[in-house]
Amino acid sequence: MQKKLILDSDLLDITISRLCQQLIENHDDFAETVIIGMQPRGIYLAELIRKNLEAITKKNIHLGYIDVTFHRDDFRRRETPVKANETRIPFVIEGKKVVLVDDVLFTGRTTRAALDAMISFGRPAKVELLVLIDRKYNRDLPIAADYVGKVVNTLSSQHVLVELEAQGHKQNRIWLINKD
């Protein structure tokens, strides 16, 4: 199994603060904006982004989690049903600007499911997508991210592994793995 480091800890810090600055450019003090992390792995990145944003803006920013399991389009196409995670959106998204956050954008199917799931909670004024890694040339659906940490050219036989300290890893590192 070959592993290639795409982002190390220092580069990741720089990338995250750049993403935060881009968000602030578009959302000012986040009075009308909420962040929703996508389960299971997007929530750690969302938490990181919120912490950074709160440090910069000195304001409380709403953060929720959304689980898309019951909205996926591959039900009954897998060997086993996908295990669901917690959804927690303790605020109203009706009329708000929503920033969806995930670690890796690959086929776009999870994002589609998240858009579907989110509508159950109300009608946001606007939805944007933030991803740390955008896997180019692998999209199955017409979905693009508004904020991208890093674009990576990958083959579908490869796999992007995100290791964050918040998930219990020693260091923040992102790898590209060949699954041969």
Q: Which residues bind other proteins (CB under 8 A)?
A: 67, 69-71, 75-88, 116-117, 119-122
Closest separation in Å from C-beta 88 to other proteins: 8
Closest CB to other proteins among 108 and 149? 108
Coil, strand or helix: which one is 131? strand
Which residue lies nearer to other proteins by CB, 82 or 143?
82
Could you check whether the bond before residue 124 is cis, i.e. omega within 30 degrees of 0?
no
Determine phi and psi for 156, rounding to 5 degrees.
-70, -15
Q: How many beta carbons lie within 10 A of that of residue 26, not counting itself?
A: 13
Strand order in the sheet with 158-163: 3-7, 173-178, 158-163
Reference 73, options 102, 40, 116; nearest CA is 116
Least spacing, CB of residue 38 vs other proteins, in Å: 15
CB of 62 to other proteins, least distance (A): 17
CB of 43 to other proteins, least distance (A): 15
Name the amino acid, one letter, at 59.
K
Nearer to other proteins, 24 or 82 (CB): 82
Question: Toward other proteins, which CB reaches closer, 17 or 85?
Answer: 85
Q: Can you tell me the distance from the alpha carbon of 158 to that of 20, in angstroms, rounded to the nearest whole number?
A: 28
